């Protein structure tokens, strides 16, 4: 199973709903991933946090894959590569949570 390719971003659509979309530079096309906040009972800060987390999902998956490769017992990894993977993972977490 593959997820929608492209750079996933979130924004406020129509003033009250959060939209997560994927933008493909190659195809010059945007694809809606999901819309959040359809009811008046939703908490605005929670909706925004969920939109950020969903938009960061492809980056989180990539960071997790890099980390798994790095932690493979048979892998020979230089400290510099380990630092790069850690830096990328921390920035991805920041994207999803701040």
Please report, for the chain, the start and end positions of each structural domain, with discontinuous segments joined by +.
1-54, 56-98
Q: Confirm if 41 and 63 have CB atoms less than 8 A apart.
A: no
pLDDT of residue 97: 84
pLDDT of residue 4: 83
- Write out pLDDT tens, residues 58-75: 988 888 888 877 777 676
In the chain, the N- to C-terminal Cα span, in Å, equals: 29
For residue 82, what is the enclosing H or E element? helix 79-97
> What is the separation of C-alpha 40 from the centre of its chain, rounded to a whole number of angstroms?
26
What tens-digit pLDDT sequence spans the chain (98 residues)?
678 887 899 998 877 788 999 987 776 788 899 998 866 666 888 888 899 999 999 988 888 888 877 777 676 767 777 788 888 888 888 888 88
Q: What is the 3 state secondary structure string of 4-49?
A: CCCEEEEEEECCCEEEEEEEECCCCEEEEEEEECCCCCCCHHHHHH
pLDDT of residue 53: 92
């Amino acid at each position: 199973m593959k997820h929608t390719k492209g750079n996933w971003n979130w924004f406020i659509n129509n003033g009250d709903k959060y939209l997560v979309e994927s933008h493909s530079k190659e195809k010059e096309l945007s694809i809606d991933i999901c819309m959040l906040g359809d009811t008046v009972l939703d908490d605005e800060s929670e909706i925004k946090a969920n939109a950020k987390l969903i938009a960061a999902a492809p980056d989180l998956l990539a960071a997790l894959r890099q980390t798994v490769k790095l932690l493979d017992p048979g892998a020979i990894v230089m400290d510099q590569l380990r630092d790069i993977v850690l830096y990328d993972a921390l920035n991805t977490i920041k994207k999803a949570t701040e």
